[in-house]
Amino acid sequence: MTFQDLKFALELGCVLGKDIEYLLDFSKKNGINTQEIDNELLKLGYDKVFDNDFENNNEDDDNEFGYIQKFPHKSKFYED
């Protein structure tokens, strides 16, 4: 991840410009570590931007779907 990617992700996370500059300076000093950046965001009052619990929480969702019966698109008429 580059600093431009980091800035873009923070902008998408609705972080204010002055806080983005602070986090970019923090990352230049300490390196780009998403966990540390998320901790700094929490200290500033924001939600985590790089937290990816979606994959961990939804591992079993694929098994919840049942069989889907497909129907042909064309109508077939049968004469008796």
CA-to-CA distance for 17 and 20, rounded, in angstroms?
A: 5
pLDDT of residue 59: 54
pLDDT of residue 64: 63
pLDDT of residue 65: 63
Tokens 């800035």 map to which residue? 7
Judge whether residue 78 has pLDDT over 70.
no
Closest listed residue to residue 46, CA positions, set 24, 15, 22, 23: 15
pLDDT of residue 52: 65
pLDDT of residue 1: 81
Q: Which two tokens stand for residue 76?
A: 């077939």
pLDDT in tens, 11-65: 998 899 999 999 999 999 999 888 999 999 999 999 888 876 544 555 555 556 6
pLDDT of residue 11: 92
3-class DSSP state of 6: helix
Residues composing the chain: 80
CA-to-CA distance for 27 and 7, rounded, in angstroms?
A: 11
